[in-house]
Structure 1
């Protein structure tokens, strides 16, 4: 009888250690994912720099603008493209700053590279890329640096929280109690 109680206590202790190990591994996996995710902005910035290099070399691999205009029709005027670029730049900066303030996890860096590629291409087909290259480059570099910083700070904040949870788990053998953020302001 005493043996049965010892076996039962032993299996409960093993289950608790196994559950703690699973929680620990889950936290370590999440920290690893966040570390990889924090580099997303740098990858997008690198892709943009590669795109900007192709634009600087006047998109040597694309057909000449005259051929495309003959097929698709006239490109928008450079002034119109510039106005849309200014609107896009301010909108992207405001959106990124609001996401930063709200602490939202949003992986939007690569879509910005696509939008900026569109601006390079519109200027290219309007035969105004040489005059407007630095405007697109400056806007893109600013937006992508801000996005990279936003993603990096979000990930570092989350890594800090997960590290605190991991330390609490290893000290106490359980996860810390969840704090209700609404109750902090009541």
Structure 2
């Protein structure tokens, strides 16, 4: 039984904040989305390559839950699939509650391993003023809650399309909470 499904997919070969909606993406094991600016074994995010270009790419595929868009709309923001730079927009999966090393099976072949939370950056604020604050929250112990999606690495590649099912496989216990990557 599916836990959820793919709502939209996006890619962009250039380092822009938002990505381009497409009909399908091809993900490649160990690399990410074929042709995307963030595809690679080593980190591709410009701020991180400036610090250490040899660090592993733990951000090969970025996923955001479509339910976030409704929450943001209620706060006065107009945000849709690919606007926040994600490759895969999901629906029906509580991405932020997943433990590290969970595996998401998309469609029949693709396996993505969850590495952590996306840390929203100032580019979100440039996209729409006030949006950075809107994708951050505070928990009961005043801890920062990041809502801008999760990052994954590709364990098995294939093609991903809107409508594909998503099945979640939890790792063995103990479950490790998501941290920013």
Same fold (TM over 0.5): no
Higher RCO (CA < 8 A, seq sep 6+): 1
Higher helix share: 1
Q: Which has the larger radius of gyration?
A: 1
Higher strand share: 2
TM superposition score normalised by structure 2: 0.24
TM superposition score normalised by structure 1: 0.24
